[in-house]
Amino acid sequence: MKKYILQSIRLTAVLMVLLCVIYPLIVAFAGVFSNGDGGGEKITKNEKVVGYALIGQSFTRPEYFWGRPSAVDYNAAGSGGSNKGASNPDYLKQVSGRIDTLLKYNPSITKADIPADLITASGSGLDPDISEQGAITQIKRIAAYRKLDEKLVAELVVKNTEGPLFGLFGPSKVNVLKLNLALDELKK
């Protein structure tokens, strides 16, 4: 028995060093080579930080592209999903309200045209991106509210669309904050 206890203590000590010291140092070192030196990619406007590329923000005014809904009100300190299932009446009411809002502000689309990412929250509640289709769905509304040509807004969406990772993994996506900042630049 003494033999097994000593082995367990040694294994625990080795794993503590590996997982509590060495692994965090490797991750911190790798972060230095990422955008923002491990602190996240800051997005600035007029030399002021207006957001981060990996944290969603709430845009509710009709002249802006709307991002993915958030179950945690975009609070990065407490990220998480709603944990409500598709049969939950409260959840269905929320989704129905989101659909009604989209249809009200985008009268040219039908319920079938609405991509799921515009009416359902992500697992973290902080998703900064929407699908390319989610952005395309909103072009007419934004062009009308800003009195811009739809083609110009569509070109802006294309310029701000990121393809799949390595051209293979995942769908095309659009960062909502970057797209809205580019939209503001059009006005100038």
Residues in CB range of 50: below 8 A, 6 or more apart: 43, 44, 177, 181
Region 90-101: mean pLDDT is 91
Instruction: Please report the pLDDT score of residue 56 as a whole number.
Output: 79
Across the chain, mean pLDDT equals 87
Q: Is the pLDDT of residue 110 over 70?
A: yes
Q: Is the pLDDT of residue 115 over 70?
A: yes
pLDDT tens string 18-66: 999 999 999 888 877 776 666 677 777 888 877 777 787 888 899 999 9
Q: What is the dihedral of CA 146, 148, 152, 155, to 10 degrees?
A: 20
pLDDT band of 16, cuts 50, 70, 90: very high
Region 161-167: mean pLDDT is 85
Of 49-63, 72-86, 158-172, give the range with the top mean pLDDT.
Answer: 158-172
Which is more confidently placed, 87 or 19?
19
CA distance 80 to 172: 23
Q: What count of other Cβ atoms lies within 10 Å of the Cβ of residue 151?
A: 10
CA distance 126 to 78: 10
pLDDT cut 70: percent of the chain above it: 96
- Model pTM score: 0.78
Q: What is the DSSP letter of 2?
A: H
For the chain, the domains span 1-33, 47-187
Q: Is the pLDDT of residue 138 over 90?
A: yes
Region 115-131: mean pLDDT is 87
Q: Following DSSP, what letter does each residue of 36-54 receive, concatenated?
A: GGGT--EEEETTEEEEETT
